[in-house]
Structure formats: C-alpha cells, structure tokens
Amino acid sequence: MTVTTSDIEKAAEVLRAGGLVALPTETVYGLGANAEDPAAVARIFQVKGRPPSHPLIVHIGDAKQLDDWVEEVPTTARLLAEHFWPGPLTLVLRRGRRVPLEATGGLQTVAMRVPDHPVAHALLSAFGGGVTAPSANRFGSVSPTTADHVRAELGDAVEFVLDGGACTVGVESTIVDATGEIPSILRPGGVTREDLEAVLGYSIAVSSASRVRVPGQHPSHYAPRARVVLVEPEKVVIEAEQAQELGHQVGVLLPTSIAGAAVKAHAVVAVPPSVAAYAHGLFGILREFDQRGCDLIVASLPMEEGLGLAIANRLRRAAGPRPS
C-alpha cells in the first residue's frame, strides 16, 4: 500500500500517454484520465459503461489553478474554495475553453475539485494538468473505497492502480452549483450542508435525492447487486426475518437504535457508531453483503443532518428502481 515516487512518475506518464490511472482520494477511488485529452476521457466512459452525457469532475492539484479551467469565479465560489479546498467539495462553474465538452457531457459548466489526499496530490503535481476522475467502478454500482475494490471491479481495464489504502471519508464529494452568487447543493457529500452554511452565513437549498439533473442518469446508483429495501428502524428486524423466511438471503444493516437486536438473517452488520465511521464504511458494507451472497439488503435511513444527509442520499439511490 506504500506508493513510491517512482509509482507516481509512472502513473503521471500513463496519464500523459492517454491511459487511465485509478487513484485514491479522501472520498472514493477515482478512475483518472487527462482532462484535456478527449480520447482518454472517452475511455473513462467506455470502461465505466457510463452514458457520455453524464459529466465528470476535473481534479486539480491546487486551488490557484482554478482560474485556468473556468470562465469566471464568482466571489462565493472563491470563498468556498478558500475554506474547503483541498477537500471533499466540488464546485460547478462556467466551463473554460481548456475543458473539452467530452468531459462535461456537453454542458457549458464544469465541476472542479482539489482532493485532499497525499497520493492524489502527488500525482496531480507530477502530472501538472487536470484529471477527470469519476469513481472507479462500473456505472451505477457501489463506489470503491479501497484499491482491492477497484481491482475486483475493473481488473485490466485500468493501466495503473495507485494503492493509497482505504479512503478516509468514504462517500463522494459534495457538489455545489457555484455558477451564481447564491450556491445550492446538487449532491450531498463529504462537506456537510451545515459546514457550508456556517461559512456562507445563510442557509442553502439541497436538490431532492431524486432530482435528475443530468440526462441519461438513472435513479438507481451506488447500487450493490442485492436489492436494497429501506424501512423505518423499528421495522428492520421484522422485514428482514419475513424476507428470509420467504427464501431470500437477507443482509441486515442494523440501525444503532436497535443495536444488539437478534435477527434471523443471512448476514447482519451493525451500523457503525459514529456518522463519520458510517460514511467511511458504507460502500464496503454494501460490497460485503454482495460477497456473502445476499440478494436483499434491509436498512433504514440515518438522521439527515451532517454526513447523514450524504449517507441517506446514497442509500436512497441504492434502493432506487433498477434498469430492467
């Protein structure tokens, strides 16, 4: 899991040659390509099976580079970048000419982020340019939070995997529409709404979990193979046991309010005790249920405050209707 300077050099070389590099960030592992190379960007969509209309986030090594990539940086965007970069905040701004339309799904806006991870930072510095890096998984499935998850899911499709250990935050960045002076949250994530509001000094809107902003985006996302059913915490045990009796292999994500409850199910995992630990562990737990052969996961939503907002968003999407 130690990444050497020579690994970083090799990875930067792969990016320069138009290849793909899986890289750790504090949120999840990304599948990186040179943002300015339309062919390399196209390979990301191909490897992920992601619809080309679904825009990517451009990662840069330093907030000072932001102006090189966008048309303009409104005062509010500047303030948020100063406070939260490097970190799990993505700012949607007007696209600069440097950003190919392939990376933005044809939009005139671009999503920008400075990740807070020593390996991501080293790679971005060595490479020098911007790296488009969506989560390193097939479109719609659970995001990888370890290098093993990436290898298991993408195998040889990616030229180089930088193993930086487990991602600390564990859920994706918060995406904020910062094109105007009053920002809004497009996707909850690692920076909480409360943190943003504390810096801004006013409250901001969060688009609903089901809001489909981008064409081609399916309501089901972050989804394990097993079907996910969300119920009230006090119904988790009964729902799980009934499904198990009907012949399902049930995985239970046991809420803290009923921690220690006995459940007759195939696999039982307790929700981690703190919301940060829950975010950190969420995608790994969903993968574990799949590995243990569950076909149904019963869970409930956490309180939608702090990181709980991002966790609830991912669980809702995981439970969303699947493509037939």
Judged by the rule CB under 6 A, the positions of this chain that interact with ligand AMP are 54-57, 92, 104, 107, 109-111, 134-135, 172, 175, 186, 213-214
Q: Is 34 in the site for Mg ion (CB under 5 A)?
A: no
State in angstroms the smallest separation of the CB of 48 from Mg ion. 8
Which residue lies nearer to ligand AMP by CB, 107 or 161?
Answer: 107
The CA-atom distances, in angstroms, between 201 and each of 69, 120, 195, 204 are 27, 31, 10, 10
In 3-state terms, what secondary structure has residue 154? helix
Nearest in space to 248 (alpha carbons), one of 264, 232, 270: 264
In the block, residue with structure tokens 């609903």: 208
Q: Of the candidates 109, 135, 141, 244, which one interacts with Mg ion according to CB under 5 A?
A: 135
State in angstroms the smallest separation of the CB of 198 from Mg ion. 27
State in angstroms the smallest separation of the CB of 145 from ligand AMP. 13
| Stretch near Mg ion under the rule CB under 5 A, chosen from 77-85, 132-140, 196-204, 255-263 | 132-140
Which residue lies nearer to ligand AMP by CB, 116 or 172?
Answer: 172
Binding mask 89-128 for Mg ion (x = CB under 5 A): ----------------------------------------
Q: Is 174 in the site for Mg ion (CB under 5 A)?
A: no
Partner from ligand AMP, Mg ion, none contacting 103, C-beta within 5 to 8 A by type: none
**H or E element, residue 243:** helix 236-245
Pairwise CA distance, residues 48 & 29, whole Å: 13
Pairwise CA distance, residues 54 & 217, whole Å: 7
Q: Which of residues 232-271 bind Mg ion (CB under 5 A)?
A: none
Pairwise CA distance, residues 77 & 266, whole Å: 47
Nearest in space to 87 (alpha carbons), one of 186, 189, 3, 162: 189
Which residues bind to Mg ion, rule: CB under 5 A? 135
